[in-house]
Chain A
Amino acid sequence: MSDSDTALVARVVADDDRGAFELLVRRHQSAVRNFLRRLARNDVERANDLAQETFIKMHAGLPSYRGAARFSTWLFRIAYHTFLNDERGRRTNVEFSEDQHAGAEDTAAAVATALDVDRALERLPVRQRAVFDLHYKKGMTHSEIADALELPIGTVKSDLVRGHEKLKEWLRPAEGRTQ
């Protein structure tokens, strides 16, 4: 039987056990990298760099992990903030507009041609992308997502509803649209 996340965390904190830390990384790397790929609009290299940074921050922050939330929830919180910091750094002198990609007409036309949910998801603002990924791909509850992203639970619910509306709008067949 494999060690629980909590047991591995305890070993890392007590003895700086690198074997336990490696097990934690191996166990969660796929989910974290997929999550960051989603946020980074499938920029694989950037997602991998951010994932590495996430795990290094995790190592530094483990002594402060109190176990109040699930370990994965805590880890996705670090990943999300790592992405946001990187995003802000990339947009110096440019207003941090999460919706800037949403207005691209050519993308809209491309997305409208098929039920391409993944591409449509890329057009959502970063926070909604995070909410959708954690809900649908990681199976988190609304309260777990609120905890991970440090959002009110009402915001999580409304992000899901509004995101669905946008996806439906974007994925509607082209011939069915008035424009």
Chain B
Amino acid sequence: MSNDTHNIEAALRAPEPTLADDEFSVNVLARLPPRRRRSTARRWTLASAACLGSTLTALFAPPLGEAFASLSPWMIPPLAATTVAILVIVMVPGLYFLYSERADR
């Protein structure tokens, strides 16, 4: 290998300078689109809502159904009344969740 070739090779292999970040990463972050909702938080919210809904349904649907059937001026079978109670218990948090998702956009 000639001296010239050796010098070129050495110059090419010389390490490049490490550039200080300064404000570079901050500027990049500032140009990013708005942050997405944390999907982990969303998963936990859904799971918690499902557990809470199941618990409330199991605890309150049969007594609510019975109360609804006894208060109603019409003859409503207890099973139908319980079904209505279940629907109300499930739909209220469901509708609230849908509303909050829309508002978040």
A132 in contact with B40 (CB, 8 Å): no
**Chain A: interface residue total (CB-CB under 8 A):** 30
Contacts of B35 in A (CB 8 A): 16, 18
A16 and B38 contact, Cβ closer than 8 Å, known pairs A52-B27, A168-B4, A171-B4: yes
- Separation in Å of the B47 CB from the closest CB of chain A? 16
Q: With both chains docked as a complex, state the minimum distance between the C-beta of A12 and any C-beta of chain B, in angstroms.
A: 10
- The B-contacting residues of A in range 136-159, CB under 8 angstroms, are 136-137
What is the predominant secondary structure among interface residues of chain B facing chain A? Answer: helix
Interface residues of B in 33-74 (CB under 8 A from A): 35-36, 38-40
A33 with B25: CB separation less than 8 A:
no
Which A residues are in CB contact (< 8 Å) with B11? 115, 117-118
Query: In the complex, A51 Cα to B8 Cα: how many Å?
Result: 28
For residue B28, which residues in chain A have a CB less than 8 angstroms away from its CB?
A: 25, 52, 55-56
Q: How far is the CA of A40 from the CA of B13 in the complex (A)?
A: 20
- Point out the residues of chain B lying under 8 angstroms from A162, CB to CB: none
| Across-interface contacts of A86 in B (CB, < 8 A) | none
Closest residue of B by beta carbon distance from A136: B12
A-B residue pairs, 10 tightest by C-beta: A117-B11, A30-B19, A25-B25, A16-B36, A136-B12, A55-B28, A34-B16, A137-B16, A30-B18, A26-B25
A positions within 8 Å CB-CB of B: 14-16, 18, 21-22, 25-26, 29-31, 33-34, 48, 51-52, 55-56, 59, 115, 117-118, 132, 136-137, 164, 167-168, 171-172
Query: B residues near A, CB below 8 A?
Result: 4-5, 7-8, 11-13, 15-19, 21, 24-25, 27-29, 31-32, 35-36, 38-40
